Amino acid sequence: MPHDRAASRRGFIQSAAGMGIAAAAPEPQLPKVKFFKAEVTRLIIGSNPLYGFAHFNSILGRLMKEWMTQEQRLKVLKRCEEVGINTWQVHFDQDSVADLKRYRDEGGKMNWLLLGHGEMMKNPGLIKDAVKLNPIGIAHHGSLTDERFRAGEMDKVRDFYRMVQDAGVPGGISTHNPAVVDYVEGRGWDNDYFMTCLYRVTRAPEDSRREFGEAPLGETYFEKDPERMCKMVRQTKKTCFAFKLLAAGRGIDPASRIEQTFRFVFSNIKPQDAAIVGMWPRFKDEPKENAAAVRRALASLGA
């Protein structure tokens, strides 16, 4: 049954306060960069918090997912549009596709930047189904990229993005490891773009022990990781979408650190690049605050 757009809008306004969001007139779009046929704002909303991928522990993940119903996800996406964000990066699965269709049915206009995920990585035939939904790009999933890099199976990564290109969409490679970017660029591969995690969270325990003498519990977030990845971002001419800027929430305190991080990122990636940030506005209007912080950071850099 089609959704009543006016009713949906009224419901958004009425419940905005419960999300820490104050409904307001739409703001101008953030500064944009050209990405093939699309224009992409330099701040992109990511998908992990929308679907309970906390990258911290299972309890936080369950709490995220419990609150982030489809209704809430749609409110967050619409709020991102209101504050000037025009692109949504999301993984490919049944829930995200259902959200996309409803979002568009209700008038949503954001670009859809897709990350290959789950079943698509096992069944590349799903690329053709995804292309029908008009993504502006499809990237090989980062964790699987890193696994295949360690296993010496990077040809599978190349095969995937070339199938995307053959389907008529820009094909990218997502990774958490700067060495992957170095490997791909050193061999002159023809991928169209990268998604580059600022923290190498896929380090195997033996990698951490070799580099630092010990291995942490869980994912690794080392303070110099962003510098290491940004160095590789600047060395490639291809567009890069930097993600996990705030270390999956570990870098949000104190609040001043958020804007400092945006300034660091935008001064250390290329002018053609953009940043992906996950948002979970349960307690405050994160889309508005992040958009404002990005505007100030870019203005301070003359960008």
Q: Confirm whether pTM is higher than 0.75.
A: yes
Q: Which pLDDT score, from 0 to 100, does residue 18 have?
A: 47
Asked if 263 and 300 touch (Cβ cutoff 8 Å), the reply is yes
Answer yes or no: is 23 within a domain.
no
Residue 101 lies in a domain: yes
Determine, yes or no, domain membership for 201. yes
User: Does the pLDDT value for residue 15 go beyond 80?
Assistant: no
pLDDT tens digits, 108-143: 999 999 999 889 988 988 999 999 999 999 999 999
Q: Tokens standing for 151? A: 């296993």
For the chain, percent of residues with pLDDT exceeding 70: 92
Burial letters 237-250, b for 16+ CB under 10 A, else e: ebbbbbbbbbbbbe
- Mean pLDDT over each residue of the chain, to the nearest integer: 90
The mean pLDDT of 54-82, rounded to a whole number, is 91
pLDDT at 89 over 50: yes
Q: Give the domain extent around 120.
A: 41-300
Each residue's pLDDT tens digit, 194-236: 999 999 999 988 888 998 898 888 888 889 999 999 999 999 9
Q: Distance between CA 231 and CA 52 in Å, rounded?
A: 31
Q: Has residue 18 been placed in a domain?
A: no
Question: Sorting pLDDT into bands at 50, 70 and 90, what band is 8?
Answer: very low
pLDDT of residue 118: 85
Asked if pLDDT for residue 17 goes beyond 80, the answer is no
The band of 274, judged by pLDDT with boundaries at 50, 70 and 90, is: very high
Query: Is 172 among the domain residues?
Result: yes
Better-scored residue on pLDDT, 6 or 272: 272
The reply to whether 12 falls in a domain is: no
- CA 159, 164, 169: angle at the middle one, nearest 5? 150
Task: Say if CB 197 and CB 244 are below 8 A apart.
Answer: yes
Question: Is residue 255 in some structural domain?
Answer: yes
- Evaluate whether residue 219 is within a structural domain: yes
* Number of structural domains found in the chain: 1
* CATH, residue 173: 3.20.20.70
User: What are the beta bridge partners of residue 250?
Assistant: none
